[in-house]
Copies of this chain bind each other. A is one copy, B any other.
Amino acid sequence: MLTNDVLQTMSNHRSIRSFTDKPITDEIIDTITTAARWASTSHHVQAYSIVTIKNADTKKDFAEWTGGQPWVASCPVFFVICGDFSRHARASKQYTAPFTVGGIEQLLVATVDASLVAQNMLLAAESLGLGGVMIGGIRNEPEKVATRLQLPKYVFPVMGLALGYPTRYPAQKPRLPQNVTVHEEHYKHHRHALETYDKTISSYYEARTKGADTRNWTARMAQYTEKNKRPHLKGFLQKQGFLTE
């Protein structure tokens, strides 16, 4: 394996949920967001927006709305990364052109653009000694989030990102093996490839929970996919102008 600072920063990732009191300076926020926004973007649409939140009341409400995640309140800065076609809607109005982002394709374009920027933001932060965690729970209460952040039509929260200086570095959560996730020339099933990984994840949780939870990866996933998740999301996205075709 080759190595350098970029590869090391990537390979050192773990989600950080416990932060010191040290604030994040505006210079750091500017550095992170400026570098991150060089991410690729489909057809240069740049269909995302970032909202930076330091207000304690907003963070406290978001901690509750994301399902009770105290690190959302305790992090010095919380970001909401949104898919955003509102600038494009205004451009269309300016040129009196028809406008639609109602197909699944446009929702995916905005989701991808927002995700590429978000990954860069977290990695940029990690390279400066910060740590953080992405918060999918921001989609729990998209209506409340949109109202609080005054999101216009054609904007929706894709994820949250809590950043700060880590109090400690927990163990890394092992990833799926390379031969299960990387396929040569075409997709391949490896029938028994997950057995070892299941044992690894079982040991990881056993150590983390002091023996209270030893469920393996497949058992966790079987539970995760039992039910339709966040069924309210479809109606919210439609209200915001997506999924109408």
Contacts and interface: CB of A to CB of B under 8 A. Distances in A.
A72 to B, nearest CB: 15
A245 B232 CA distance: 11
Interface in A26-58: 27-28, 30-31, 33-40, 42-46, 48-55, 58
B120 A111 contact: no
Given A10-B36, A233-B103, A95 B54 contact: no
Nearest to A172: B38
A97 B226 contact: yes
A31, A119, A221 — which one has the most chain B CB atoms within 10 A of its CB?
A221
A159 interface: yes
Interface residues of A, number: 121
A41 to B, nearest CB: 8
Interface string A144-184: 00001111100100110000000000001101101011111
Nearest to A14: B38
Nearest to A2: B31
Given A31-B1, A134-B40, A52 B124 contact: no
A80 to B, nearest CB: 9
Given A88-B221, A119-B120, A178 B30 contact: yes
A156 B46 CA distance: 23
A205 to B, nearest CB: 10
A6 interface: yes
Complex A-B, nearest 5 residue pairs according to Cβ-Cβ distance, in ascending order = A6-B127, A115-B115, A91-B218, A5-B5, A95-B222
8 contacts: A10-B124, A44-B173, A45-B224, A48-B181, A50-B181, A52-B185, A92-B221, A115-B116
